[in-house]
A and B are shown apart, each in its own frame.
Chain A
Amino acid sequence: DAGVIQSPRHEVTEMGQEVTLRCKPISGHDYLFWYRQTMMRGLELLIYFNNNVPIDDSGMPEDRFSAKMPNASFSTLKIQPSEPRDSAVYFCASTTLRERGRGEKLFFGSGTQLSVL
């Protein structure tokens, strides 16, 4: 399996521009998570989906952030308009509860390094 695939690997943009981050979870996984990692706040859960449905978006910082999962193999995180304080590494992770009893293990992508100038 190729693992969780995120694109782009790096994104540099100017303040005010729209940014779209992409994620392809591991095939067969029914949970998908978006995390943001910064030096100040560590790893924060932004939103997670189960069977393509958003379950908890309480971590989304504000209305400029939106996430979608149109199908089981693709999700996007969009920031519009972007601001310098959005600069961070954004991780996507997936998992499944089908192996219940084995415990939840999150499989992370390599992340997208976002820099907003």
Chain B
Amino acid sequence: AQSVTQLDSQVPVFEEAPVELRCNYSSSVSVYLFWYVQYPNQGLQLLLKYLSGSTLVKGINGFEAEFNKSQTSFHLRKPSVHISDTAEYFCAVSPGGYQKVTFGIGTKLQVIP
């Protein structure tokens, strides 16, 4: 079994400030890790993913995430946020080579002008 915990349901941050959205996971097997973004009234879009190799993963729109196996974390970061980053962000986990993706409950990022 696998699970994902997103520790913050809402994160307000001022424009141009840095942000970190936290994600912890649990799994009995090795996993793939993902961050998806959902803009208002839209479906989810893949932001970035970790499969193997370098633990620092860079995604679209200037976001990056770091896989920490010992802490079972995959936190999402951006050094300077923009108004257009206002959205809901979902962390997700999938057992390697298998299709069942489990999503976290989501973190709403609100960028304040």
Q: Which residues of A contact B (CB under 8 A)?
A: 4, 31, 33, 35, 41-43, 45, 48, 50, 55-56, 91, 93, 95, 97, 100-106, 108-111
Contacts and interface: CB of A to CB of B under 8 A. Distances in A.
Interface stretch (B20-28, B37-45, B79-87): B37-45
Contact of B43 (A48, A103, A105, A109): A109
Interface of B: 32, 34, 36, 41-46, 49, 51, 90, 94, 97, 99-106
Nearest to B90: A43
Given A41-B105, A91-B44, A109-B43, A97 B99 contact: yes
Nearest to A92: B43
B43 A50 contact: no
Given A103-B49, A103-B51, A45 B101 contact: yes
B44 to A, nearest CB: 5
A55 B103 CA distance: 18
A104 B101 contact: yes
A108 B43 contact: yes
B100 A56 contact: yes
A31 B99 contact: yes
Contacts of B45: 108
28 contacts: A4-B43, A31-B99, A35-B103, A41-B105, A42-B90, A42-B103, A42-B104, A43-B44, A43-B103, A43-B105, A43-B106, A45-B101, A45-B102, A48-B99, A55-B99, A93-B43, A97-B99, A101-B51, A103-B49, A104-B32, A105-B34, A105-B46, A105-B49, A106-B46, A106-B101, A108-B44, A110-B41, A110-B42
B68 to A, nearest CB: 19
A110 B106 CA distance: 17
Contacts of B104: 42
Given A42-B106, A108-B44, A110-B42, A48 B90 contact: no
